[in-house]
Amino acid sequence: MNILHTIPGRNWGGMEQRTLEQVRWLLAHGHSAWYGTPPDGEPFRQATKAGVPVVPLSFDPAWRLDTMLKLRRFAKANQVDIIDTHVTRDAKAAMSCLDLCAVIRSRHVDQPLVSTWARRLQWRRGADHIITVADSIRRGLIEIGLADEKRATWVGGWAEEKFFAAADPAVAGARARIRAELDLPDDVPVLLCVAMLRPDKGQDHLIHALALLAKRGLAPICLLAGDPTIQTGAYAAGLMPLATELGVASQLRFLGYRTDIQELMQATDLVVISSLVEGQPRVAVQSFASRRPLVATSVGGVPEIIKEGITGWLVPPAERQPLADAIAHALLHPAEAAKVAANARSLAEVTMRIDVRMEQTLETYQTALAYARSRRFPRWRGAR
């Protein structure tokens, strides 16, 4: 198949990384694939660095005539079968190609949508299939009339093989090396939060939880791996002053964007997701593969993979005391935490590898193509 993935934004987060991994997998398995994104953004830079074919496309504002014409020319010239869109702006532009190929709308977040007649038209007529990263998102779209149950599929996340490999007992040295690099004492527990520094990721709530832990005599070091987005610099700049005010500044390490998350996980004792909104976070699946115990907020598709006390611990979003309590429980019961991490790894082994998820994706693409060929308006002629 020939597949064009489109990313309209300029920030580099989980959605952008997941999409790039899809393109790389497709290329490695005999398909033609491209990564379409603005030339002045971080996704373009990362895709170019990874050596995948990149198509410069600007989706600001939505409904750009020149972008729609460029998409049509590209679809025809490259005999594109599928355009897999990932945000609203690129999904709107791809509607211009409905007579040339099948169009997918992929949904990565669990933020609520208002079901207006115009939005229903765009979602139900402007796409041949919808892919969500969690079943809860899929069901939500069906309930508000944006998705047809027969044309909506959820495909969960995966961890790259390096996360599984890093957790192998035969691979030694990452823990000691990272702890030495970051000056982390061997006898101090370490937490890891991997996320962009932005309000919906809840790092401020995690800092408040650290202050509550201090009242119990627990002082873990917390690693924050991630950069702010273009829009959230003020939020990120306020995190250290907040920690100083609460008396926990010495426990924080701001690492910025890191490419060695698999090694960071091996150097830490507990992974924490403090988000207020999520789809199915990549870091949850990565912690499963890495045999790291996980505390996460019960949002979006997180409860679909974390079973309380079995594969992790769930807490309500934006509630600091339950978050502190769950972190304390995991740190004070290491044998239980190790068992929970082993259970999570077993689940990841079976269902959370990229080959499994991409086979599900290819099946969905075939379903979308069949539907595209059957619809009457706009009549699908194919790019060939």
pLDDT tens per residue across span 91-109? 999 999 999 999 999 999 8
226 three-state secondary structure:
strand
Question: In angstroms, rounded to a whole number, what is the distance separating the alpha carbons of residues 229 and 187?
Answer: 34
Q: Are residues 241 and 337 in the same domain?
A: yes
Question: In angstroms, rounded to a whole number, what is the distance separating the alpha carbons of residues 218 and 251?
Answer: 11
Q: Are residues 173 and 136 in the same domain?
A: no
Question: In angstroms, rounded to a whole number, what is the distance separating the alpha carbons of residues 116 and 138?
Answer: 18
Q: Are strands 54-56 and 32-37 parallel, antiparallel or unpaired?
A: parallel
Q: Which residues of the chain have pLDDT under 50?
A: none
With respect to residue 92, please indicate whether it lies within any of the assigned structural domains: yes
Place of tokens 């190609």: 97
The type of residue at 285 is V
With respect to residue 347, please indicate whether it lies within any of the assigned structural domains: yes
For position 276, what pLDDT does the model report? 96
CB-CB contact of 268 with 292 (8 Å)? yes
Question: In angstroms, rounded to a whole number, what is the distance separating the alpha carbons of residues 166 and 359?
Answer: 24
With respect to residue 380, please indicate whether it lies within any of the assigned structural domains: no
120 three-state secondary structure:
helix
132 three-state secondary structure:
strand
With respect to residue 382, please indicate whether it lies within any of the assigned structural domains: no
For position 190, what pLDDT does the model report? 97
Q: Are residues 89 and 171 in the same domain?
A: no
For position 30, what pLDDT does the model report? 97
For position 377, what pLDDT does the model report? 75
Task: Give the domain CATH number at 89.
Answer: 3.40.50.2000
How many structural domains does the chain have? 2
Alpha helices in the chain (DSSP H): 14-28, 42-50, 65-77, 88-94, 117-125, 135-143, 161-166, 174-181, 203-214, 233-237, 239-246, 261-266, 282-289, 302-305, 320-332, 334-351, 354-374
Tokens linked to 379 = 């009549």
Q: What is the pLDDT of residues 224-263, one digit of tens each?
A: 999 999 899 999 999 999 999 999 999 999 999 999 999 9
Tokens linked to 127 = 């796409």
Mean pLDDT over the full length of the chain: 94
With respect to residue 199, please indicate whether it lies within any of the assigned structural domains: yes
Q: Are residues 209 and 327 in the same domain?
A: yes
Question: In angstroms, rounded to a whole number, what is the distance separating the alpha carbons of residues 185 and 267?
Answer: 11
Question: In angstroms, rounded to a whole number, what is the distance separating the alpha carbons of residues 251 and 320?
Answer: 17
Q: Are residues 140 and 193 in the same domain?
A: no
Q: Are residues 175 and 291 in the same domain?
A: yes
With respect to residue 379, please indicate whether it lies within any of the assigned structural domains: no
With respect to residue 383, please indicate whether it lies within any of the assigned structural domains: no
Question: In angstroms, rounded to a whole number, what is the distance separating the alpha carbons of residues 237 and 98?
Answer: 44
Q: Are residues 140 and 209 in the same domain?
A: no
Q: How many residues does this entry show for the chain?
A: 384
With respect to residue 366, please indicate whether it lies within any of the assigned structural domains: yes
Q: Are residues 130 and 173 in the same domain?
A: no
Q: Are residues 52 and 17 in the same domain?
A: yes
Question: In angstroms, rounded to a whole number, what is the distance separating the alpha carbons of residues 45 and 201?
Answer: 24
For position 188, what pLDDT does the model report? 93
Angstrom distances, CA of residue 304 to CA of 136, 144, 307: 8, 21, 8
Q: Are residues 211 and 79 in the same domain?
A: no
For position 170, what pLDDT does the model report? 57
Q: Are residues 102 and 179 in the same domain?
A: no
Q: Are residues 122 and 57 in the same domain?
A: yes
Residue numbers of the domain that contains 252: 161-351
Sheet (strand 221-225) strand order: 252-256, 221-225, 190-194, 270-273, 294-297, 313-315
